[in-house]
Structure 1
Amino acid sequence: MKKILYLFLFFGLLNFSNAQIGKGSEVEKPITVGVVNKLSGFPHLVYYPKEDKNYYFLNFQNNEYPNITDIKSVDFYATPEELDYLYDFLMSCFEDKELHTIDVGDQTLVVKKTAMSIRITVDFNEEPEPSGWTYLSKRQLQRLFGKK
């Protein structure tokens, strides 16, 4: 009889411990601008619509560690015109082998042309997170920004 009483007491206490969870709310689903590699799903550019500026996420597989899945994310607010400016900036990096930089949100993109693609390195300025990088060809860049 004591065992049954202890079981009821134990399960009764567990029931009260769940009372600290609040109400859930629905989260808006992101709208995909473009995906470069549909098999892996990376890199991809998505946004959450906001009233004045959309909130964008550029996610990519960090090529720093080829054997480890390390996903990096660059987040920023931008209008459609500012997003077009970023696209035009990245496309202009294919024209010469100079080092180009642009601030995007709280991060800095460092872009350099290598052979037929550009290497995009993300410097996370005020975070303890290490930098990450990826390669994109012209066609991949067009797919990423939904231009093709």
Structure 2
Amino acid sequence: MKINMSENNSCIRNGFLWSLCLVLFLSAPLAYGQIGEVIQENKMIVGSARATTLELPFIEYAEVTDMPPYYTLWYWDDTTSDRKVRSLEFYATDLELDYLYNVLKEGFDLSMQRIEIGESRLVTRRPLRPGQPLKINIYYGDDSVGTLYLKKDALETLLGNTRNPVHSKADLVGTTIE
């Protein structure tokens, strides 16, 4: 039996070409697909300047697939006469939110204080007269500045005991609240 090498090579070449065409045909829908992976986002308002209506400033809690949960503080920027809405995004636990609440509450009594939040810095300045709002300057990582004025009652509904925490303090394992 004599084997013709040219016939054998052409059979191998034809088989390879058919296999290549089959692979390209089957992978074509994958190469041109434009529907990506699902990313789910769950947002909830944690606190607002008004307890009954949504009003700036307010804090929003967000859970996003494959990312740690974070908070966004939305507020009117009063740096210039042209008011615009700005935001500050940060990661925080319930205990850290309580700490932020206490720092801002102390701001009504202390001349000035600073706190780092993420890549930003909050600087509080005591009101000149009782009953006036607390001035909060927010210095962002890109060297921009935002200014927020916050009244005591708005602070209470924003971060105080009336806020809607993601997990209530009673849900903490192994602790009792009196």
- What TM-score results when the alignment is normalised by the length of structure 1? 0.72
1:43 is aligned to 2:52: no
Q: Deviations over 1:70-112 (max 9, x none)?
A: 221111111111110010010011113x111000111000100
Partner of 1:123: 139
Q: Deviations over 1:110-130 (max 9, x none)?
A: 1001232211110003x15x2
Partner of 1:99: 112
2:49 is paired with a residue whose SS is strand
Partner of 1:55: 70
> What is the total number of aligned residue pairs between the two structures?
126
Contact 2:48–2:54 (CA<8 Å) still a contact in 1?
A: no
1:78 is paired with a residue whose SS is coil
d(CA) in 2 for partners of 1:112, 1:121? 8
2:42 is paired with a residue whose SS is coil
d(CA) in 1 for partners of 2:61, 2:97? 11
Gaps of 5+ in 2: 1-31, 163-178
Instruction: Point out 4+ residue stretches in structure 1 off by more than 4 angstroms.
Output: 37-40
d(CA) in 2 for partners of 1:138, 1:20? 53
Contact 2:57–2:75 (CA<8 Å) still a contact in 1?
A: yes
Larger radius of gyration: 2
Contact 1:54–1:79 (CA<8 Å) still a contact in 2?
A: no
- What TM-score results when the alignment is normalised by the length of structure 2? 0.61
1:76 is aligned to 2:90: yes
Q: Deviations over 1:26-65 (max 9, x none)?
A: 53231211111576731110112489x6411111110123
Contact 2:73–2:89 (CA<8 Å) still a contact in 1?
A: yes
The alignment yields a C-alpha RMSD, in angstroms, of: 2.7
Partner of 1:5: none
1:30 is paired with a residue whose SS is strand
- Which of the residues 125, 129, 133 maps onto 1:112? 125
d(CA) in 1 for partners of 2:139, 2:55? 22
Partner of 1:34: 47
Partner of 1:22: 35
Q: Percent identity?
A: 26
Gaps of 5+ in 1: 1-18
d(CA) in 1 for partners of 2:69, 2:39? 19
